[in-house]
Amino acid sequence: MNQKPTNSLPIRIIEEKCTLCGICIDSCPVTAIIEEDGILVIDKTLCTLCGICVPICTEGAIIIESEKKITSKLEEYKDVWVFAEQKRGKVEPVVYELLGKGRELADKLNCNLSAVLLGFTIEEEAEKLIQKGSDTVILIDEPELANYLPEPYTKVLKELSLEYKPEIILAGSTTIGRSLFGRLAVSLSTGLTADCTELDIDKEDNKLIQTRPAFGGNIMATIITPNTRPQMATVRHKVMKELSLNKSRRGKVVRKNFSREILSSSTKFIEFVEDLSQQVKLTEADIIVSGGRGLGCPENFKLVQSLADVFCGAVGASRPVVDDGWIPFSHQVGQTGKTVSPKLYIAIGISGSVQHLAGMQSSEIIVAINKDSDAPIFKICDYGIVGDLFDIVPPLTKKLKEALKK
């Protein structure tokens, strides 16, 4: 029997304010808002508590109310948590960067650092999390959690947060991290700062200071969460340094179990389709060669690929060429794409918009090739070549191939 749609907590529609304009119906990504007998109701069996509908309603008719059990005194919250994202049974590299920063934050707060690991048959990964800085690993090993699904992951983390009351929870600013933490923040009635590039502790009141780019990267915003806990943030990959592996380090693994109701999901994982367009993973590459609109057409990306192949490096791209469909989004470098920090970054035909610079300016060495001598990329590069890329890149590639053969 299907559950009847309801307007009960934690999200509801105030009938007296609703004008039946239908904007919220169109905005709901899971079609959870429906019209029934002349009023709008929310189907709890479909609603993911993403909160998209709340700011969209101009009449203020949709609200999210805090559950009583979530309200606690701020001093009851303690410890730093890192969500240990895993794919196909292996912890993602960004997690180890977060453990490095988490260790620093936990030491300043004089508290424990815990990693929360959800998956199936992944106990071996727990030991590495301890060797990388975690004091405790909270392990939930269930078949339903083998692959990321929004509902069970959110419900499990919510229950754990209510039980242990962590002061800070961090995750990577990945596709999964962004999807999960938005839902979790809403379900816990707390704040979330996305895409952070720096984290620190306020010496006066021990609040988490969260820094992220704003207004297209033109300014850096400093954000705090003064009145609710936990303090939640997602952090960009490659902006923080991971600790070295310490095999002698010891910690504790806490195993938790949950009911089938908590682990249930209205969606099903079918298969993982790997992006075969990336021969080398962009965020892990030591050398990246990126192309922009200066290439003229998508076919000319072969020049970028050829140069990247010489170095066994990865191929990147600026946002305009991704938007134009020249190359898949997985290659995009920038504020709305991947944040990278390779040893060598070569920008070909990229002018250097603020959006792009935000994603690659921490590279150790930056080389720019562009015919516009006033291009912003030249202000941050270590080596700049002003000229036609079609006259420069092919002979450069040829010379490098010859040099590496010797």
| Domains by residue range for the chain, with CATH | 11-65 (3.30.70.20), 70-263 (3.40.50.620), 282-405 (3.40.50.1220)
pLDDT given for residue 3 in this prediction: 39
pLDDT given for residue 1 in this prediction: 34
Closest CA to 28 of 66, 64, 56: 56
The arithmetic mean of pLDDT across residues 211-227, rounded, is 82
Whether the CB-CB separation of 32 and 11 falls below 8 Å is answered with no
pLDDT tier at 11 (50, 70, 90 boundaries)?
confident
pLDDT given for residue 280 in this prediction: 72
The arithmetic mean of pLDDT across residues 165-191, rounded, is 94
Within 10 A of 158 (CB to CB), how many other CB atoms are there? Answer: 18
The arithmetic mean of pLDDT across residues 325-335, rounded, is 92
Query: Which phi and psi (to 5°) does residue 266 adopt?
Result: -85, -5
pLDDT tier at 275 (50, 70, 90 boundaries)?
low
Name the average pLDDT for the chain: 89
pLDDT given for residue 71 in this prediction: 47
Is the torsion defined by CA of 152, 158, 163, 169 positive or negative?
A: positive
Pick from 57-61, 80-84, 145-149, 360-364: least confident: 57-61
Whole-number Å distance between alpha carbons of 401 and 357: 29
pTM beyond cutoff 0.85: no
Is the torsion defined by CA of 143, 145, 147, 149 positive or negative?
A: positive
pLDDT given for residue 57 in this prediction: 85
Question: In the chain, what are the helix, strand and coil shares in percent, each to the nearest 5?
Answer: 35, 25, 45
Is the model's pLDDT at 7 over the cut of 80?
no
| Chain segment 363-372, per-residue pLDDT in tens | 999 999 999 9
Pick from 204-213, 214-223, 310-319: least confident: 214-223
| Neighbouring residues of 92: CB distance < 8 A, sequence distance ≥ 6 | 85, 86, 172, 174
| Chain segment 71-97, per-residue pLDDT in tens | 468 889 999 999 999 999 999 999 999
